Chains A and B, each alone.
Chain A
Amino acid sequence: MAVTDQAAASPVRGASAAPLRRPMRLFRNLSAKIATLPMILTATVIFVGCTGWTVVHSFTSSRLLPRLDFVGLDQYDRLWSTPKWYVAIQNLAVFGVLSLIFSLVIGFVLAALLDRKVRGEDVFRTIFLYPFALSFVVTGLVWQWLLNPELGIQGVVRDLGWTSFTFDPLYNRDLVIYGLLIAALWQGTGLVMCIMLAGLRSVDDEIWKAARVDGIPTWKTYTHVIIPMMRPVFVTALVLIASGIVKVYDLVVAMTQGGPGGASEVPAKYVMDAMFGAQNLGQGFAASTMMLLSVVIILIPWAYLEFGGRRRG
């Protein structure tokens, strides 16, 4: 951290005339330091401090109030022997893998379709992206209504004469996570499409021309040339979706409240219930530390790929 670098201590631009040594190093460039104080406090106190605080307290027996009496890994033992936590982790895994695959595929296909010099591209893009402006609460409530068994989609199809038609994911323990998935994909694929579209637009036209001259079919150009070229875009989208998935909370609360019978629990909701519902702070801290761990597991390979190769570049 303590790099003895004179240049780093002076304003980057225009201040080369400033004397190299001044008595009080701390007060140099003072306005900038004061102005960035909120940022510095956020980075240190909130992001580092509060995270560290939670991790430390996850090793304590805190219940109603945080207390510093350490009990080792007891909270984690209890966490991993709680069925509700298993359900939550399982749901997150299923939901996570499926929403990654589907949003990448759907997002890319929609972007590729829009990239075919479509008339009214703006209209289509506006339609595909508008759900992203809506909150998870609104999304969850709309889909809760659409998936209502008596009056929603199932009811409509049954009224049409297909009386045995069943589509009530929100009332089926095994299917509820797919109900959430439908709503989440409706809300989020527009964003992925936009990222992909930006990536496709950055592909040089010459590549398309060359592929056409060589007589390569369009779909093959996509799978063999364009997609490999767009690897960084895919990775960005992946990280973005993945870090969003871990946070899934409002959608579940609005759509199913964790039901039916706790079948749609997710880790974020487990944490909230433990901390603010059951007054079981230690469990909440342990569970949220596990969430942090999963993000770290996602991020480290990405950061390594992204920044490890070209340090100081």
Chain B
Amino acid sequence: MTAVTAPPPTVAPIASARDLWLSVAIRTGLIAGATALYLCLTGIVPTFDSRPLIRDVITLGQVALVVAFMAAGLGTAIRLGTQASPGRTVLGGTVAGLIAGAMLSALVLLGSVVDLRAMFLHASPALWNVLTFEMGTSGFWVPAAVGAVLGGLAAAIWLLPGALRMSLLAGLAMVLVMGLFAGLLRAPMLSGPLSGLARQLFAAEGLQPIGALLSFAAGAILVPLFRPSRIRARAQRLSREQRRVTAVPLGGVLLLLVLLLPLGLGPFVAQVVALIALYVLMGLGLNITLGLAGLLDLGFVAFFAVGAYTVGLLTSTGEYGIAQWSFWAAVPVAVVIAMLFGVVLGLPLLGMRGDYLAIATLGFGEIIRILAGSDLLKPWLGGPRGITNIPKPLDVGPDSFLAGPNQIYYIALACAAVIAFVAWRLRASRLGRAWIAIREDEDVAEALGVNLVQTKILAYMLGAAFAGLGGAIFASLYGSVFPSSIQLLVSINVVAIIIVGGMGSIPGVVVGAIVLIGLPELFREFSEYRFLFYGAVLILMMRFRPEGLIPSRIGRQEMHHDAAEDDPLTATAAVEPS
């Protein structure tokens, strides 16, 4: 294996000769310029220009450009490293920024002669005005000038001593984060005694200048103090006994925070966390099918639908309700029926492997979705108009704390906790080991006496049960079930949560759900671009942290094992027998 010659490394040669600083600067500038063009033409810059980050100072649209220009400077400085003199580094940053800016200048110039709008919707006078500080196309030189200054500035920042640089960047990052979350922090504060403070720190959109200054200071001071690496280092220094002693109160505080979350942040956040808890629950379910048994199920939404429709039919007080049971009576039925579907749909899949399995399960998901909305089953399921009037589990008054999404949050949380416990116990059990064995190699597992049929069916069954429970809670969270809710996107989301969180890791599922379900919900106001960011996050996550955010120990080892030992050319097929 070692004899195989890998293709030559594609990493660009770092400027070794003196004059190469220019080529590095040009290349970085071109990349940054292309990014800036992308941000302009997809409408991100002009759309976010109406959303201030700091009131009367800078808008989010401008921030996007500033980040692109500074990235040009920083990127050049980083790639040059210590091989160029400080003067050269700053000059390189300036050139890179200039190039990036000049590309935008060229766009403005081009826009003044050709009607770009016939093709690109956002290449409008509004965009030129953003780029040139309201000077129209005659100010085409502005982006180039701004780019050069910011590029040089960023390169200069890179030359600062380490601690100072860290503080500065952390402060800027903190301003950005606070500015993005300003609305979310401000809304609940306004109705309490903190309303004055809220108005002082946060503008209607984004930060007040004073709030920005405080955020910058907080970031610049606090982040270097509490660097994750430093905390980790300190934790490692503790003895096992000490660690246990600190872990218990820390866990307690965390638990308390989780329980009190809806209290502090209002019903919207409660709804989002309820949704997160719901996806955690389903993620844990799929973690058994996919994470442990290695069966790629892209039709998870089928069981979700079965659970939701069962609860809908059994509890609805509307047109299609058949029993008007309480939620509590309907849920066990829903889970059992989902399990039955798991068995029935799992049986034909027994002989299939890998991607055949993926497409067959995807097909099942689609079949269930189409049937739910079809004229064929309309007399029972309501067709496209769905089932409405599904009551909430707890019949409390409208003013009660538990009215609305809060009760669903606690129910979903309790279910997720139970399932997490079950999943954790299962993994260490004989069954769990059998699952892992068939994931690693089906043929060997069978030869060693693992009953493939039983083991696989149990995996489908349990996964389906959890998905059905998720669907049941979903139905009562929103009070209705429609075929339009049964989307392939649900299945994809659940798979993505597991991979992004870290395969087979229970905390990973939680973090994955927060990142992929929670954040897009919180950023609902950036509606048109939410899924653009979602896609970018998936790509970047897989590129830079393929083992997931919180990988299980085994997952991490597998990753390292791959990198260190496997021949890069053959690893693709060998690593993940699915």
Q: Do A and B come from one complex?
A: no
Question: Chain A interface (Cβ within 8 Å of chain B)?
Answer: none
Question: Chain B interface (Cβ within 8 Å of chain A)?
Answer: none
